[in-house]
Amino acid sequence: MDINLDIRKIRRHRKHRKLPAIFTKEELQSLFNVCDNLRDKCILMTLYGAGLCLSEVATLKVSDIDSEKMQLFIRNAKGSKDRYAILSQANLDILRTYWKAYRPKVWLFYSRNNTGTHITTRAVQNIFHKYATKARINKNVTVHSMRHSFATHLLESGIDIFHIKQMLGHTDITATCFYLHLIKIESLNVKSPLDQMTDPDKTNG
C-alpha cells in the first residue's frame, strides 16, 4: 500500500549539543602573554575583548574602530546584518600601539602573503593554535572558544543576558541562553533554598 508522507510533519530528534571548552581568565592571560608578535596579540585580544567570530575579526577595517563611542562596527555579522561590538580600553590601547607600528590603511589586519587583502580566517586559526600550544593550554579549544568565554565571563560578572544578546548579535535570545549552561555554579553566589530554611535539622522533629 502506497502511503504519502509529509516529511515536514515528522518530528525530528533534537541534536544534542555538547558544552564547549571555556577559557579561564588566567588561561587567557597566559595566551596573551606568550604572544611574541604585536599583530597576533592584537587579533587574539580583539577576538576575546569584543566577543567576535572568526570572520568578523579577519575583515575588520581601520575605519570600523570608534574610539569615542568605544565600539567596533561589524559588517555582515550573523544573519548578514551589521552590528556594533564593545571596544574595551585595553583593546583600544593595544590597537593604537599596533597602528603606530604597522600603519594599516584599509584592513586592520592585512594578509602577509598579499598585502592588498585582509588576513584569512585560516591564518587567524593558525595564530590561535600556535599560541594555545605555546601557552600549554590542553583543553579542546578553538578560535570560537574566545567568543564563548567572552559571553560566559560577562554572565558570571552579572551582565544581563539581554545585553549580552545584543553584543553577540544574536537574533534569538535562546541562542544566548545557551551560555547559561556554561556558568560555574560557584560564580553565581546563590544559596540553595535548603540553606534558607530556619533550621532544616528540626523538620523531622
Query: Whole-model pTM?
Result: 0.76
pLDDT at residue 193 tops 70: no
pLDDT at residue 133 tops 90: yes
Query: Average of pLDDT values for 103-110?
Result: 94
Query: How far apart are the two ends of the chain, measured CA to CA in Å?
Result: 68
For residue range 52-83, list pLDDT tens digits in order. Answer: 989 999 999 999 999 999 999 998 766 667 88
Q: Looking at the domain assignment, is residue 3 inside a domain?
A: no
Domain CATH number, residue 130: 1.10.443.10
Domain residues for the domain of 111 are 25-185
Among residues 134, 128, 126, the alpha carbon closest in space to that of 42 is found at 128
Q: Looking at the domain assignment, is residue 13 inside a domain?
A: no
Residue 122: strand pairing partners: none
Longest dimension (CA), the chain: 79
For residue range 166-183, list pLDDT tens digits in order. Answer: 767 666 666 666 655 555
Tally the domains of the chain. Answer: 1
Residue 19's pLDDT is: 66
Residue 85: strand pairing partners: 72
- Report the range of poorest mean pLDDT among 16-30, 60-74, 90-104: 16-30
Residue 173's pLDDT is: 62
